[in-house]
Homo-oligomer: A and B are copies of this chain.
Amino acid sequence: MHSPAAKVSGYVVLMTVQIIFLVLFWLFVRYEKTALPRAIDAEDAGSAKEHVSKYPQFQDIQVMIFIGFGFLMTFLRKYGYSATGFTLFMAALVVQWSVLMKGFLHMEGGKISLSLENIIDADIAAAVPLISMGALLGRTTPIQLLCMSIFEVALFAANEYLALNVFSICDCGGSITVHAFGAYFGLAVALMLRPSSDQNETGKLEGASYTSDIFAMIGTTFLWVYWPSFNSVLAEGAGGERAILNTFLSLAAATVTSFVVSALVSHENKLDMVHVQNSTLAGGVAVGTVCNLLLGAHGAILIGIIAGTVSVLGYRYLTPWLTANLRLHDTCGVHNLHGMPALISAIASAIYASMATVGEYQSELQNIFPAMVGTNGTETKIMGGLGRNASSQAGYQLFGIAVTLVIAIGGGILTGAVLKYTNFRNLKKDEHHQDEHYWEVPAVENKEE
């Protein structure tokens, strides 16, 4: 069953990838000017400080990626080493790759300028394959995951460039470019790797233990707490404060709503930890794209209520249906936490964009909807031309999510096909959702339980 030789060659390839990264960084990456020595005077010191003013938010996002995703996925009873360990490895690989991929799209003089911004972007990019991993959790080898990540992040960088720089859509918290992309890419891979119909029943290890559920709450809670940082880190000016406020309120409303809906639809009206661990966060996703817009507090709360409801209903009814009918096993339910809430966010962005006026947004329009500004003659590549009107911007928002879905699903199908039909080892049904095929697990423990 285990072919050590295959494992070894996989890891050797992986080491080669790391060494290729080293060479690419050597050739193409240089510190940005702000990170280089210079004459120190009051003004410069201020500018240096300015440059790292987002550092606390960066650290919050680091916690979300490594602790948040890592522990959220520990809910499976025998997959905690993989959840926390593979999260760490995938993220460590992806952040390097993402600096290169996104950097190649914005080179200056043939070099990538490295600053705090690049690693903030890299952490955000790391979320993408981690979301996809949620859809596949326990049903792939680590090498499959890591190869998927490499391909997915390259495609993500291209799609993001298309959405933000070409279509010029707003997507402050990344619900379209990060959450929808990661979720539907992962679901497409999961669909390709789906079991044969005689192996479709849910395995006995595909559930939580009392302890593993509490570990998962560490992930949930840190994601909840720091989500305002994720959504606001790329916002500018007063939009940053709105992003914080709107995300906070949307999360709060989604949480109360998830609680209620979970109790109403669950067996014996008992609360379901899956909903608590995941649907409470749907408010953060659903408000993402629009978090820096003028939603008003009530707008944020309304979005949270809708997201919490949709997410819990998705877990309760849609996921089992997809598993039974399409053999689509979405282990963490990323469709309910990231997929559908991201669609809600995209729709909300079209609605709010259609109502945006210069009078309301004043000079911030330039940051938020740059294609709607007519006066500053730059960026001829912006589609729809300068001075795009509000309805047109709304249309672009919908176009942006549609293109994202096409690229994500197409890329996912392709990737899934590669993982399934080429030389990669595929896990057998009885190898799913357990650490011991890839990890040394304490022997005593195995006997005890």
Contact = CB atoms under 8 A, between A and B. Distances in A.
Interface in A429-449: 437-442, 444-445, 448-449
Contacts of A189: none
Contact of A59 (B19, B88, B225, B361): B225
A278 to B, nearest CB: 12
B363 A39 contact: yes
B268 A221 contact: no
Nearest to A64: B225
A129 to B, nearest CB: 14
A298 B25 contact: yes
Interface in A41-90: 45, 48-49, 51-53, 55-57, 59-60, 62-63, 66-67, 70-71, 74, 77-78, 80-81, 84-85, 88-89
B248 A119 contact: yes
A214 interface: yes
Contacts of A245: 31, 35, 114-116, 119
A31 B296 contact: yes
A36 B360 CA distance: 9
A92 B256 contact: yes
A195 interface: no
Interface stretch (A180-188, A236-244, A339-347, A410-418): A236-244
Given A59-B225, A256-B93, A268-B4, A25 B209 contact: no
Contact of A88 (B224, B253, B263): B224
Given A114-B245, A255-B88, A263-B7, A301 B25 contact: yes
Interface residues of chain A: helix, strand, loop or mixed (majority): helix
B88 A35 contact: no
A19 to B, nearest CB: 8
Q: What copy number does this chain have within its complex?
A: 3
Given A269-B4, A440-B270, A363 B241 contact: no
11 contacts: A8-B269, A18-B253, A18-B256, A25-B297, A38-B364, A67-B225, A81-B214, A116-B241, A211-B211, A213-B442, A268-B440
Given A18-B253, A88-B224, 11 more contacts: A8-B269, A11-B269, A15-B260, A18-B256, A56-B56, A62-B225, A66-B225, A80-B213, A84-B214, A115-B245, A271-B440
Interface of A: 2, 4, 7-8, 11-12, 14-15, 17-19, 21-23, 25-26, 29-31, 34-40, 45, 48-49, 51-53, 55-57, 59-60, 62-63, 66-67, 70-71, 74, 77-78, 80-81, 84-85, 88-89, 92-93, 95-96, 99, 114-116, 119, 207-211, 213-215, 217-218, 220-222, 224-226, 228-229, 237-242, 244-245, 248-249, 251-253, 255-257, 259-260, 263-264, 266-273, 276, 280, 294, 296-298, 301-302, 305, 360-365, 437-442, 444-445, 448-449
The 5 closest A-B pairs by CB, nearest first: A92-B255, A26-B298, A37-B364, A56-B56, A84-B217
